[in-house]
Chains A and B, each alone.
Chain A
């Protein structure tokens, strides 16, 4: 029986080779110059380069705005979908995740075309809208999952103790669904910061996000600087992951089907 724990070994080796080692390599390359010597200059370059810094700031700004937008639009949708009074059909939920199965680049291009056709100037507004459109399902699904699995007796208990429907939502449903919201935030925030291609398509190359800079540097063989920028993102990911703590485990997007 004990031997079955050994079954994790191949995957452990795989993870070390294809996850841990590559991430370490990001740090290694970030702290090296082109000739392989240790240096902090790549990191320093980022903090002294106005362009990179402003792109970074803009990316964070767009990501925050996009995340908030996704929560504002997605939470009510998830709530309605999980509410048996309003929605009894699982098919409606599937309809919300279905667009994810269509190539994201293709959808983004079509969105951009739609804007152009409607005479809307491509820029930050369209970027935000397009991003929100791309990531909305990732926000709706985890929130829906948590709300749907939530024991109804919590809401009933609150009601029983004198809470009005509004108070039930504020004091019980909302706090209990926060793990789902955090899960959604994780699936929207960092990907938004790091998108490339999508931001270019949606703004006709007018606005670059952080991901685009990383991609340009790597593609132009500036591996060390590209790695340094990646390392900065990794640090942010680490911080946000720690911040959200470990209470969102039940809200993962695992079982979409």
Chain B
């Protein structure tokens, strides 16, 4: 038993090391000034300094890419959360064929690879003669985010006692109040995880943005990195940026999880 345990731990450790190697690699080389990864020219905080005082070449490009990425992710995930929650309540109350159809349609964007979503939306915008840019990117992101919100809210609905909405009405709440004070709090955990999932998928998206951003020069972090890499040289300040983002996410996720497991233990 002991030996098996050790073996299991070793295996998990090994896989984790492989998974994290590139990220650690980026983090390590964020503390040197060299342009390309893997080239160590002595320890330095300069890249971090450049990042924060904006004294790098093409700094406005990178910074506006970061800004766009965050803003698009925020708008898309807020809209997706609202749309998805309302939709989930609707779908939950549907019956028979209609419910099957909605579930089927909701599954399509999740099954489709990014490139299909990207190309199909590109064709849609071309077909409708909509000029592509910020709006189309946001719409596209809402398209692939909403199904995940629906998916996260749905289980909360089935856990819900079907009578609590009626109970609220019975106690004198208007339908709107019942929704706000009873339904939404019960669905909140699902909405939150749907929102977080949407946000991160939007942050990470490359293919869909690539096809729907048009030709106005709109860049998100992904398309910026892609263009940068195609040009042959990554903006060195990306390394500290990625390192900071990674640490931020690490801390947030660990805090959430530790709090969750503490709550569980209390029960």
Judge A-B direct contact (beta carbons within 8 Å).
yes
Query: Which of A's residues lie within 8 Å of B, judged by CB?
Result: 1-2, 4-12, 14-16, 18-23, 25-26, 29, 73, 76-77, 80-81, 83, 85-87, 89-92, 94-96, 98-111, 113-114, 116-117, 133, 136-137, 186, 190-191, 193-197, 201, 211, 214-215, 218, 223, 226-227, 230, 233-234, 237, 241, 252, 254-257
The answer to whether B123 touches A214, judged by C-beta atoms less than 8 angstroms apart, is no
Chain A residues with Cβ under 8 A from B148's Cβ?
Answer: 254
Interface of A is mostly: helix
The answer to whether B113 touches A190, judged by C-beta atoms less than 8 angstroms apart, is yes
The answer to whether A92 touches B91, judged by C-beta atoms less than 8 angstroms apart, is no
The answer to whether B207 touches A196, judged by C-beta atoms less than 8 angstroms apart, is yes
The answer to whether A25 touches B127, judged by C-beta atoms less than 8 angstroms apart, is yes
Selected from B109, B114, B155, B256, the residue in CB contact (under 8 A) with A257 is: B256
The answer to whether B115 touches A230, judged by C-beta atoms less than 8 angstroms apart, is yes
How many B residues, CB 8 Å from partner? 91
Selected from B11, B142, B249, the residue in CB contact (under 8 A) with A98 is: B249
The answer to whether B152 touches A110, judged by C-beta atoms less than 8 angstroms apart, is no
Selected from A4, A12, A98, the residue in CB contact (under 8 A) with B105 is: A12
A136 to B21, CA, bound (A): 14
Q: Given that A76-B11, A91-B258, A214-B115 are known contacts, is A21 also in contact with B124, CB under 8 Å in the complex?
A: yes
The answer to whether A230 touches B119, judged by C-beta atoms less than 8 angstroms apart, is yes
Q: Tell me if B48 is interfacial: C-beta within 8 Å of chain A.
A: no
The answer to whether B119 touches A226, judged by C-beta atoms less than 8 angstroms apart, is yes
Selected from B16, B151, B206, the residue in CB contact (under 8 A) with A254 is: B151
The answer to whether A86 touches B8, judged by C-beta atoms less than 8 angstroms apart, is yes
Listed A/B pairs (20) with beta-carbon separation below 8 Å = A2-B93, A5-B93, A5-B95, A11-B102, A15-B105, A18-B121, A80-B11, A86-B9, A90-B257, A94-B253, A101-B204, A104-B222, A110-B26, A110-B37, A113-B25, A114-B22, A133-B18, A196-B115, A241-B111, A256-B193
A8 to B106, CA, bound (A): 11
A14 to B147, CA, bound (A): 11
Selected from A26, A80, A111, A233, the residue in CB contact (under 8 A) with B8 is: A80
CB within 8 Å of A: which B1-38 residues: 1, 5, 8-9, 11-12, 15-16, 18-23, 25-26, 36-38
